[in-house]
């Protein structure tokens, strides 16, 4: 297992982060424990969670599993989505954040959370209020670092500017979606993260199962997120992504690498990625994900995979600047 610095924090984290969304849901307590210990055996020290995962059950299970190795792991949790029926049981207001972090600390059975994310941009709460509340929690020692999930690049940049202006704790990590068929992060999010030395733990490297080898232009499994979950059906509803999945599966067979390992390794090869978040329902599913660190992702292989899906346009739409534009002008 390779270890990377998380942004500019000085903290070293494994190049794979295990997402615990399945804990207490698709994975019962025993299966969750088996996956956690398998990750630890493989050298994973980075575990991602959220207060809304299985109504808090995921945090409770993770809290029990880290009890005897708390000082050897880096754990995250998140706040934003509603955790109750009250009108203030969600969002990124100070009112909700200070209550949510206390509830997460209880469920995780820990005195502090290493990395605490705002799970989604809150359009109704000023960033100043959100960042001020998070800064107070850092000063109190209840969280060590803060991050943002599902933010646009401009929203992160605005937050970094506010934090710098007030000398507050800043976002040290972001969590965008990123995989072979969802490459929008390449346009501004990842370049921004590199420029500002912000860590990136990207989610959904397998596209909700799309890139596992089970899907193709005319191929569907009997079960899976894309078959059962409306959110994923909408997210990956374009028929073109299934053609890409089929081509990707064929390429993985050609090079003799499991499609799960190859898809995760491709994401991890981007300079802006600190660690893709992997997930599984059981240890059998987990193995090829862990094997991603063994893939020799040469520039040639990386480019072959990238060529399977459309490259997103430049942020300015000046596509000519992707070529040697200045040299052509001088001719």
pLDDT digits (tens, 9 = 90+) for 163-216: 999 999 999 999 999 999 999 999 999 999 999 999 999 999 999 999 999 999
Chain segment 210-242, per-residue pLDDT in tens? 999 999 988 988 888 888 889 998 999 889 999
Nearest to 75 by CA among 93, 92, 53, 97: 53
Instruction: Identify whether the C-beta of residue 225 lies closer than 8 Å to the C-beta of residue 203.
Output: no
Please tell me the predicted confidence (pLDDT) of residue 324: 63
Structure token digits, residue 190: 């990842």
- Phi, psi for 144 (deg, rounded to 5): -95, -45
Question: What pLDDT shows up at residue 201?
Answer: 98
Contact 49, 59 (CB under 8 A): yes
Query: What is the percent of the chain with per-residue pLDDT over 90, rounded to a whole number?
Result: 89
3-330 belongs to CATH 3.20.20.100 = yes
CB distance 1 to 16 below 8 Å: yes
Contact 179, 267 (CB under 8 A): yes
pLDDT of 330 strictly over 70:
no
Please enumerate, as own/partner, the contacts of 309-318 that have beta carbons within 8 Å and a separation of 24 or more.
Answer: 309/180, 309/181, 309/183, 309/244, 310/183, 311/183, 311/186, 312/183, 312/184, 312/186, 312/187, 313/187, 314/187, 315/187, 315/188
**Residue 77 three-state SS:** strand
Instruction: Read off the pLDDT of residues 24-67 as tens digits, 9 standing for 90 and up.
Output: 999 999 999 999 999 999 999 999 999 999 999 999 999 999 99
From CA 286, how far away is CA 279, in angstroms rounded?
7
Beta-strand relationship, 46-48 and 17-19: parallel
Using CA atoms of 277, 281, 285, 290 in order, give the dihedral in degrees to the nearest 10. 30
The burial of 321, by beta-carbon neighbours within 10 Å (0-12 exposed, 13-18 middle, 19 or more buried), is given as exposed
Burial classification of residue 310, based on how many CB atoms lie within 10 Å of its CB (0-12 exposed, 13-18 middle, 19 or more buried): exposed
Task: Specify the pTM.
Answer: 0.94
Both tokens of residue 238? 């374009």
Catalytic residues, by residue number, are 53
| Burial class of 316 by CB neighbour count within 10 A (0 to 12, 13 to 18, 19+) | exposed
Closest among 151, 182, 209 to 270, alpha carbons compared? 182
Distance from C-alpha of 312 to C-alpha of 301, rounded to nearest angstrom: 19
Strand intervals (E) in the chain: 3-5, 12-14, 17-19, 46-48, 74-79, 113-118, 143-149, 171-175, 199-200, 277-278
Structure tokens at 92: 């990124």
The full set of domain ranges for the chain reads 3-330
The encoded tokens of residue 227 equal: 């078959």
């Amino acid at each position: 297992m390779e270890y990377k610095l998380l942004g500019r924090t000085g903290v070293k984290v494994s190049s794979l982060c295990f997402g615990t969304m399945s804990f207490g849901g698709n994975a019962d307590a025993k299966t969750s424990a088996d996956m956690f210990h398998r990750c630890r055996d493989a050298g994973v020290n980075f575990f991602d969670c959220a207060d809304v995962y299985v109504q808090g059950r995921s945090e409770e299970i993770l809290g029990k599993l880290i009890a005897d190795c708390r000082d050897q792991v880096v754990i995250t949790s998140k706040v934003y989505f509603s955790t109750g029926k009250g009108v203030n049981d969600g969002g990124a207001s100070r009112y909700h954040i200070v209550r949510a972090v206390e509830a997460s600390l209880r469920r995780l059975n820990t005195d502090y959370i290493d990395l605490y994310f705002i799970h989604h941009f809150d359009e109704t709460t000023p960033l100043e209020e959100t960042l001020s509340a998070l800064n107070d929690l850092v000063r109190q020692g209840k969280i060590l670092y803060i991050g943002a999930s599902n933010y646009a690049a401009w929203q992160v940049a605005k937050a970094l500017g506010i934090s710098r202006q007030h000398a507050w704790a800043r976002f040290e990590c972001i969590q965008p979606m990123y995989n072979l068929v969802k490459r929008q992060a390449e346009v501004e999010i990842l370049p921004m993260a590199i420029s500002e030395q912000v860590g990136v733990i990207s989610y959904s490297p397998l596209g909700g199962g799309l890139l596992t080898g089970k899907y193709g232009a005319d191929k569907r499994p009997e079960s899976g997120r894309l078959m059962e979950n409306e959110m994923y059906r909408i997210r990956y509803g374009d028929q073109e992504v299934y053609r890409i999945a089929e081509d990707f599966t064929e390429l993985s067979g050609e090079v003799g690498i499991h499609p799960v390992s190859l898809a995760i390794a491709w994401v991890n090869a981007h300079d802006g990625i600190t660690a893709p978040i992997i997930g599984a329902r059981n240890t059998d599913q987990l193995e090829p994900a862990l094997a991603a660190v063994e893939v020799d992702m040469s520039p040639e292989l990386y480019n072959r995979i990238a060529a399977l899906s459309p490259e997103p346009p430049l942020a300015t739409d000046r596509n000519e600047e992707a070529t040697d534009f200045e040299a052509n002008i001088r001719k």
